[in-house]
Structure 1
């Protein structure tokens, strides 16, 4: 965006895209980004203004970097300045459950045409590019879990719950298919009214984009069925909440480095070093991947939320679960301690940065946890404050994120801690239930 040529190229692409989607009945285009509190924010333009938006961007004030989950501002927030929100047309989709609308993820740029240092999506892209410089790539996918009010009750993973909401879930599958998303699984989850959906792996930035689009679609289809969806970490203080588990695999030259190696369970040394880097930074990564005060009502032992800093093969109570899969290309790792309040770009970018540090240090994984880690492995931070303390101490994440983004995240986390300091768990749950 720093020269006239990319602007002109984007404008030409947008002109073609606008003509195509207007012929398909689209009247408006939604451009979204996610703030540091994990809340999706949007600007929209008429379809015929897409060309201008692609060329010059849409105004989006930098104060959004200081927004809290309840729309108040951290003390660092300022009314001064402006940024440009530019749609990434590679992610443009006509929305099946919102007739007349299309959607695209957005990047934020300065008025001078430089990347905004606080743009979370561009942070994720920088870390992916840094991996590519080493000849490596990551395939990733983010599980989406949600709870709907008004759905058919029934047992966990039960057929009764599926039958009771089969029309709703069918329409969700249809909408996602029309939006060119590949669904791998959809099923009732543990908590009453809870469902989980997983999609095909893709590049890390694209995986974060897809997680947003899936959530937008779930909300839209739910409303059309008279249901209300919540992606909050918990919807009851003592209940099992919504995870945002991040699956990822490391690749070189078309080969999945999660198998065929001499490391634990067939990991190559590169894959082991990458995962060891992630494990080393997990306390700090929680401030990105479990960013809400409510997140720590979910991260308790015995709920398969991954509250312990350990790894294990198919260990669903470990924060880092290794999955060998039934075929070589299916080997991956799952980060279970993240939840659906996370900004997916911050979560993905932070994990890639930690993995890169592990590669740079040729780290090795500690001993595997083969049973229940409770009492046998280190507990991850059990409050947001302790996770923020870990982020403050992480030179790896501070360097990767850059000073402005790193400080903005800390400011928002500390302001939310203060905001909810006198709230009961019930009040915290109620305050965030429908913010995500």
Structure 2
């Protein structure tokens, strides 16, 4: 439960997160975009629901949101309004006190606040501030709340939809935020279609919207930073494709992502009276995925360290860029069994794009922590048997996990080397090998 979660400031270390004292932090996020614009009783209800949930990070907007299922006029704005003009030099104290109260309660329950600074879903003009106004706003929010430890900065939700912002504008705001926040909180920027370039040192981690979670390992390798799938569809029953995933599919996607050593955020969009959907307005969770996400969280937190993706055989094959590479690789391939030698040789002829396409069509969800833990997830595949190659010097307990039923069945008490594991030939099955 979040009541027992650790509090404090989170930093990055390579592709992982940790607290300032070095304790690992594994983010399990959720999303309530318009949290700050709800009546007080619903904010209370949302926070109490969050307290007993598995989630230790929450994304929400600073500016009001105007979108499907979120059409209400706010009771208060962050800044005073004069007609259609937003007066960014005149903050509204009631709003900022509300934000501070929410941040303090989240900190008390060990939840990180991923604050969305800009977004395109607007009818009041917040998405169309001038650069000078944007910086005045950022200066104020930094001064007002940056002393709090559980704050993260998300430059935008779906930055590439905001047509008033040029590419260079985002870089300027990114630098401004990093230069003026003396507390050096985490900074990211979320996309709709085009990934934000997270290569700059000022960007702490990769925050993306994507259902191509097969790419997690590739992105971690590219950026050398933590990767969070902050939006990959929501459990719900809306007519929109982004809002009608089954609970099983949400759980499946979480396992696909976390098995590779990346992270994810949850959301829920079950239609309800007065259009109170958790994804936007909070309230109470109705879905079946959170308790199964909790089970995944408990398993990962029991490991002695964070998982890293295991590189597949496909990725290990070179692209044959030089004659020397080809010669050495050919000698290596000739040592392979005849039955697979041709496939391995064909891989050397593929371009990087062809290889990437093949990897997406045949994903491997396989992670490890050194030689202590191996976790392989089969997603929606239904094999009846799995071959694994464990270190010969080790002694491993091997279990079959059912991610929906939340069961663990031990197959071997002390295994090493090459083993075969019988599986139930159904979706949502994983194999876990832990060193004794």
**TM-score under structure 1 length normalisation:** 0.27
Which of 1 and 2 has greater Rg?
A: 2
Greater fraction of residues in helix: 1
Greater fraction of residues in strand: 2
Higher RCO (Cα < 8 Å, 6 or more apart): 1
